[in-house]
Amino acid sequence: MITNTELEHKGNLFPTSLISYEHDQDSISFITKNGVRLLIQVLRDNMLRLRYATTGIFAHDFSYAVDENHPHGFNQLKIEETDTHIVITTEKFICKVARDDIRVGMYNLDGKPILEDELGFHWEESFEFGGSFVKMSKTSRDQENYFGLGDKPTNFNLKGKRLSLWNTDQYAYGKDTAELYKAVPFYMGLHNNMSYGIFFDNTFKTHFDFCAERRNVTSFWADGGEMNYYFIFGPQMDDVLTTYTDLTGKPELPPMWALGFHQCKWSYYPESKVKEITSKFRELNFPCDAIYLDIDYMDGFRCFTWNKEYFPDPKRMVSELEEDGFKTVAIIDPGIKIDLSYDIFKEALEKDYFCRRADGPYMRGKVWPGECYFPDFTNPEVREWWSGLYRELIGDIGVKGVWNDMNEPAVMEVPGKTFPLDVRHDYDGHRCSHRKAHNIYGMQMARATYEGVKRYNFPKRPFIITRANYSGGQRYTSTWTGDNVATWEHLWLANIQIQRLCISGMSFSGSDIGGFAEQPSGELYARWVQLGVFHPFCRVHSSGDHGEQEPWFFGDEILDISRKFVELRYQLLPYLYTAFYNYVQEGIPILKPLVYFDQQDVQTHYRADEFIFGNQILVCPVQEPNVQGRRMYIPRGKWYNFWTDKAVAGGKEMWVDAPLDIMPIFIKEGAVIPKYPVQQYVDEVKIEQMTLDLYYKLGKENSEFYEDAHDGYEYRQNIYSLRTFKLTGKEDEIILQQHKSGKYSSSYSTFKLKFYGLPFKIRKVFYENEEVPLEKLQFNAEEQSMIIDKEFSELHLVG
Ligand code: MIG
């Protein structure tokens, strides 16, 4: 562990002056007098990769994070020499390497500094583990701010923080807990309206200091491995993030039911209890798509078994639940009970699939089943075996989703709560110790789970949720923020953590709504549901010994408020699904923190309560008890209060009413929001008509609406529909144009258009340039609505 001031660190070694460099295609290799090699790879016009080898020799290049199909290639590369520097210029920015000490600086094309090395690369050799602590420091500008790093439970803006990444089971963690379940060594810096990203792809324990130790220095370092990082230039944050997500990969579309409301608890058993819960949802008309089985469904916590006393016929139960519109999701942990009468244990033992200590014994640790061994998920053969274990659970019994927990990996009652560092791993043929494999263990488990669920659920899409993860893990799985607590502070944290995960490439995430540990008041529960329905993953979960957390537990008022918001989520499913499509296609985060939405407005740099859901809905949770409203910042532009339809001009903070049944929601002017009718679960009813809510704007705004079969893979064969709506508002006219691509044909034939904020009364409607009498469109003057064929291409509404 390095805690001392960098400069006090006597053991630090530094590169000396450059003796030569070589350029070969996309790579430039620099070598210093003391044998340090720096390899700069030009991956895209806005992305370089920098690797340093202290001995001049690089280890075999391998990364779990980088998507093998990531786009790369550049338009321009120029290399020039000056007296002091070697200068690399791409189409987007300039990188200078100093002859004196190979310190690196990045500049925009006008020569303005984006990011410059302070000490730059340095390292400290470790005799103990036979590698080096590899370190990097950068200068920070006064106005510079920092965002990212995955699930960290701290202020959204990271300036002034020092954090480390070491996946840890943190029951009831708190604000500023340094290490949580995930390791996402990616952050974005922003100053002078220029944003850049750093992805430090090193799976050892990593550390980040954002001006905590020294006001004008940011540093990152690792307890081993290679100084290997990617520099991505924006200047827009969305360019940085989509480039990062291109590099580390995007998931496939989830089945739409995975975006519904989910109910979970540790644990629902026996079968009669599960049924009692699901029936109650239907009886109370409270929409719900999934029910979760936590560890007690198993036989003595043995993975892939069932407790036959509680669940005598799982296949029948799962299919009955399915008939009632519930998908079943079951938990699977990594620890395999040491038990020679347990097939899976025996097989793994025979095949030598368990992790071993340095001298040969198995890694033995206590988790829920008692003493366990742990499969080495970093071995491709083990992953393949693990995938195959899902045959019965998914293929035969019909469970639709799998929940991977405890995969930090967590071990009970031992120092460090995880494997000791000497444990050996295959690391896909790059044998190493746990020091290097720890942070990707959970990701590789989720990957094997994904492959298995996908295989046995095919041609339907898989749903996986994991607690531990590493950069790139978004390709395989969704995630949640682990064991939070039923407090107002944790509601505040959940809001920040999910926004942070969204700008760390992991949009498909949510918190345990209501809090996992302890019990929420009805008020806290309602406020948390209000926020949770705007998170990409929406699940109530709680720990069994802390009472009930079903929506009806807190009385009718809370039930009604919760239902009202969950119904809103179901209405907005087509909008959320479209945002998901943008995430899957382009890497655009589903939630957009205000700084991401409008980085030019410096007011946003310290804002974290408010965020944009999708592209056009502004949301701000209420995070304290006993209030009738709150102050919030409305970003620049004009917005409509969703509840009152009143327009407000943004760029300022204002008071917004929010009694308990209201959470502040605003719609961007010009938006076209697609809505479903309320359903009790996805695909409960055939959609006969879609509603489009149109919010008047003087000027233009584009909106999108993506659809497909909600499950399956036909969308990849062009069987989807992507509608782009272009709204143009004038003083006394509104024009709506539609462009459609893809071959999916939806079940409904008409749109119900509802207008908000029109400054005129609609007198005439032109449909494809022909006037149509208002009655023919079932025009409703009071509601400002009309019915129109879904395939229209142009509409003019004239006042
Ligand atoms: O040691 O499976 O975060 O969601 O309910 C606790 C029981 C293990 C921790 C998970 C939580 C889950 C619980 N698990």
Please tell me if the CB atom of residue 266 comes closer than 6 angstroms to any atom of ligand 1.
yes
Q: Is 324 a catalytic residue?
A: no
Amino acid identity of residue 212, one-letter, is: A
Q: Which of 226, 294, 405, 512 is catalytic?
A: 405
Mark the ranges of the chain whose per-residue pLDDT is less than 70.
Answer: 1-10
Distance CA 491, CA 483 (A): 13
550 pocket-lining for ligand 1 (C-beta < 6 Å): no
For the Cβ of 482 lying below 6 angstroms from any atom of ligand 1, the answer is yes
**Phi, psi torsion values for 376, nearest 5 degrees:** -90, 90
Atom of ligand 1 nearest to the CA of 482: 3
**pLDDT (0 to 100) of residue 8:** 47
CA of residue 244 to ligand 1 center, whole Å: 31
Distance between CA 767 and CA 177 in Å, rounded? 59
Residue whose entry in the numeric block shows the structure tokens 């920070």 = 140
Question: 626-641 burial, b for 16+ CB within 10 Å, e for fewer?
Answer: eeeebebbbbbbbbbb
Q: Is the C-alpha dihedral spanning 558, 560, 563, 567 positive or negative?
A: negative
99 near 84, Cβ under 8 Å? yes
Atom of ligand 1 nearest to the CA of 295: 2
List 483, 567, 610, 669, catalytic entry: 483
Amino acid of residue 201: D
To test ligand 1's pocket by mutation, which of 180, 294, 546 has the most ligand atoms within 8 angstroms of CB? 294
* Domain map (residue ranges) of the chain: 4-141+194-234, 686-798
The torsion of the CA quartet 399, 480, 477, 409, rounded to 10 degrees, works out to -90
Atom of ligand 1 nearest to the CA of 403: 4
**Same topology between domain 4-141+194-234 and domain 686-798:** yes
CB 6 near ligand 1, within 6 Å: no
| Consecutive H or E run containing 578 | helix 573-586
Q: Which of 505, 439, 441, 452 shows the shortest CA–CA distance to 478?
A: 505
Return the SS3 of 663.
coil
**CB within 8 Å of 105: residues ≥ 6 apart:** 95, 96, 98, 113, 115, 116, 117
The H or E element spanning position 446 is helix 434-457
Atom of ligand 1 nearest to the CA of 412: 1
Whether residue 295 has its Cβ less than 6 Å from ligand 1: yes
- The CATH superfamily holding the domain 4-141+194-234 is glycosyl hydrolase (family 31) (2.60.40.1760)
List of residues 6+ apart from 596 with CB closer than 8 A:
147, 237, 238, 241, 503, 589
User: Regarding beta strands 290-293 and 261-263, do their DSSP bridges make them parallel or antiparallel, or are they unpaired?
Assistant: parallel
Contact call for residues 646 and 664 (beta carbons, < 8 A)? no
Tokens 């400002």 found at: 784
Please, what is the Cα angle at 681 between 680 and 684, to 5 degrees? 90
Measure 587 CA to ligand 1 centroid, in angstroms: 30
> How far, in Å, from the CA of 350 to the mean position of ligand 1?
29
Cα–Cα distance list, 117 to 122, 139, 217, 334 (Å) = 11, 6, 9, 41
Distance separating alpha carbons of residues 512 and 529, to the nearest angstrom:
10
The phi, psi pair for 102, rounded to 5°, reads: 45, 30
Nearest-atom number in ligand 1 for the CA of 467 is 3
What is the pLDDT, as a whole number, of residue 87?
98
Give the Cα separation of 59 and 401 in Å (integer): 38
Asked whether the bond before 361 is cis by omega within 30 degrees of 0, the reply is no
Q: How many angstroms separate the CA atoms of 35 and 338, rounded?
A: 49
The SS3 call for residue 502 is helix
Pocket test for ligand 1, best of 481, 483, 509 (most atoms within 8 A of CB): 483
- Grouping H, G, I as helix, E, B as strand and the rest as coil, residue 283 is helix
Give the model's pLDDT for residue 9: 55
Cα 438 versus chain centre, distance: 21
Q: What is the pLDDT of residue 4?
A: 40
Nearest alpha-carbon partner for 611 in 599, 594, 635, 595? 594
Cβ–Cβ < 8 Å for 526, 558: yes
| Cα 422 to Cα 51, 365, 468, 730, distances in angstroms | 26, 14, 20, 69
Is 405 near ligand 1, meaning CB less than 6 Å away? yes
Q: What is the pLDDT of residues 241-289, one digit of tens each?
A: 999 999 999 999 999 999 999 999 999 999 999 999 999 999 999 999 9
Tokens of 69: 């199909």
With a 6 Å cutoff on the Cβ, whether 539 touches ligand 1 is no
405 CA from centroid of ligand 1 (Å)? 7
Residue 413 falls in the annotated catalytic set: no
Count CB neighbours of 557 within 10 A. Answer: 13
For 499, the 3-state DSSP assignment is helix
Q: Which two tokens stand for residue 514?
A: 């209501």
Half-sphere exposure of residue 157: CA atoms within 13 angstroms, side-chain side? 20
CATH for 686-798 is 2.60.40.1180
| Angstrom distance (rounded) from CA 575 to CA 595 | 22
Longest dimension (CA), the chain: 85
Give the model's pLDDT for residue 547.
Answer: 75
* Active-site entry in 226, 408, 550, 708: 408
151-188 CB burial, b ≥16 within 10 A, e <16: bbbbbbbbbebebbbbbbbbebbeeeebbbbbbbbbbb
DSSP type of residue 774: G
Q: Whose CA is nearest to atom 8 of ligand 1?
A: 406
- Going by the DSSP 8-state scheme, the letter that residue 397 receives in this structure is S
Give catalytic status of residue 483 as yes or no.
yes
- 243 C-alpha to ligand 1 centroid (Å): 34
Distance between CA 216 and CA 210 in Å, rounded?
A: 9
pTM (2 decimals)? 0.98
